[in-house]
Amino acid sequence: MIKIFDFLASLKVTIVGGALLVASLVIMLATGGSIHGHGGGTGGIVFDPAWITVVLCGIPILYNAVYALFIEKMISAALLISIAMAASIVIGEVFAAGEVAFIMAMGGILQGMTLERARKGIKKLISLAPETGRRIVDGAEETVPAEQINIGDILRILPGESIPVDGEIVAGNTSIDQSTITGESLPVDKGQGDGVYCGTINRFGSIDIRATEVGEDSSLQKLIRLVSEADNKRAPTLRIVDKWAAWLVPIALVIAIVTFIITGDIVRGVTILVVFCPCALVLASPTAIMAAVGQAAKHGVIVKSGEALEKMGHADIVAFDKTGTLTRGELSVSDIVSFDDRMPEDGLLGIAASAEERSEHPLGKAICAFAKERGVAFEDAEDFRMMPGKGVCATVGGEACLCGNAALLADYGVGIGSMAQEALEKLRDQGKATIIIAAGGAAIGVIALSDRPRSDIKPMIEELRRAGAEAVLLTGDNARTAEYFAGQAGIGRIHSELLPAQKVDRIEGFQKEGHSVCMIGDGVNDAPALKLANVGIAMGSMGSDIAIEAADIALMGDDIAKIPYLKRLSLATVRLIKTNITLSMCINFAAIALAVAGILGPVTGALWHNAGSVLVVLNAALLYDRDYLKG
């Protein structure tokens, strides 16, 4: 039964209803049928096509009115439309009944288009979870379904494989890409005793882990639940017309009944019901939003929810993820520090790039790419070896070289002097990853890498501040990295080392304090926060599909500077909606006065509605070409 109503409320059926309504009007005018007062319609025509419009467009409205009244216990705009249609039919004004039904049906379709939401992200999250694991039993490997893995089982994870459960490393060293869960920009070196998350990727070394959380208790499954729960926590927003219907319906009935009692003319009473129908009011919000959505699309901003566009203007806290949002998500060499005055920067870079040329680690690849950009020559490296979680060693120019962390140098008995230690501390305080270079049995320098910040962050943050919105940093990165970056960007409030659930908690905390929150992110780990926030904005070009689908708005060019533009566009849209509502109510009140005076009949009243609705639509269309890019 529901499918039938959905079919009748579809765009194609509504268009058919509109075409038949036009045919009814043409026949009425061609045959000299009255367009004023009782006895209107198509005169002597045997069958009025408007009857089909009433059935096609009116039945879904009647269903919605009955459902809202008896199931949801609320008076909706659909109830007033249903009463007006019934009254029009009773006095023979079928065209008037079909006209209000058609306008309301079109308004509902436009509203549905603006509120449409993409909800495919959860399915993609589920696909990240490995279906099988390699369990070790009595020294032998066996492949088992992930759901059969129990707490305490020993699992072997090879390079490139996803981890099927949460666990603790019991053997081996590696680097784990855990951006799915924590959003960290760099792979994290892990060794015996360190924890690992379900759904993260083992990049290099083979490791054995002991399962500590399995099935629904694993980090990835908790993330999936967070996305679902966050979506459910968002309270649905009633249409403006339904908010007003509780008093609109009784007022319309009272005026119609009083007019009938005083004048004794039932046609006037019915006309009041027809002109009181909130047709222009129904179109006021969705037409303005669709015009704004169209303008945003011209500038590379995809808005999936009209509700979000309305709320963007009210956001007083704009929460940013760091990696891939405020930064480019690309590692680049930021510092080259030589501990030997005789060793120039390019010489140190050449040694490191030569040793790292065969490395698959992101840091090694970034060093080699930087060396090529600077035109630094590479030497052929021999005896290359990679120690997962530590670094690489190779023979460059006949001399043994090490590139890695302090643990790698300690394994080869190479000490780190006070000068090197001071340089490392300074770079780490700036949130940068460091590679120590050793040759000839001594540390000769360090190369630091960082994720490059976007060039337009600080002006954008300042513009938001002037607009009354506070910028907040929510990141999975460590505190030192977050603090250094926030200082560079001009962000005052920082929350670091956050897992997805903790980002959700922060946003809930802001909302409980009475704030309206806009969350901006790009990764899978941001999806729950994007869902829960009053407005979620994803980086469209480099962001994950899950983040984009969880968000209400996507920046397709990853242009973070568009955030203030969105706020201005939102405020302008809300102002236009209020203007259209005022305009539509003025049109309605004028029509009521004319109906009480007997100047308008049901059909002319319906045509008056058409004129008012067109005026509202044209006013909304003007928003499309206005320029809100400049503050």
Amino acid at site 37: G
Segment holding 167, helix H or strand E: strand 166-171
According to DSSP, residue 162 is labeled B
CB neighbours (10 Å) of residue 43?
Answer: 14
CB 96 within 8 A of CB 274: yes
Tokens in use for 565?
A: 């533009």
Residue carrying the six token digits 């066996």: 142
CB 445 within 8 A of CB 403: no
Sign for the pseudo-dihedral over CA of 425, 430, 436, 442 = negative
Q: What is the DSSP string of 157-189?
A: E-TTPBP-SEEEEEE--EEEE-HHHH--SS-EE
Segment holding 188, helix H or strand E: strand 188-190
Catalytic residue among 48, 189, 242, 321: 321
Catalytic annotation present for 321: yes
Q: How many residues does the chain have?
A: 631
Segment holding 493, helix H or strand E: strand 493-495
Beta-carbon contacts of 425 under 8 Å, excluding residues fewer than 6 positions away, are: none
CA–CA distance, 198 with 181 (Å, rounded to integer): 9
CB 549 within 8 A of CB 530: no
CB neighbours (10 Å) of residue 206?
Answer: 15
CA–CA distance, 510 with 504 (Å, rounded to integer): 10
Query: What amino acid positions are annotated as catalytic residues?
Result: 321
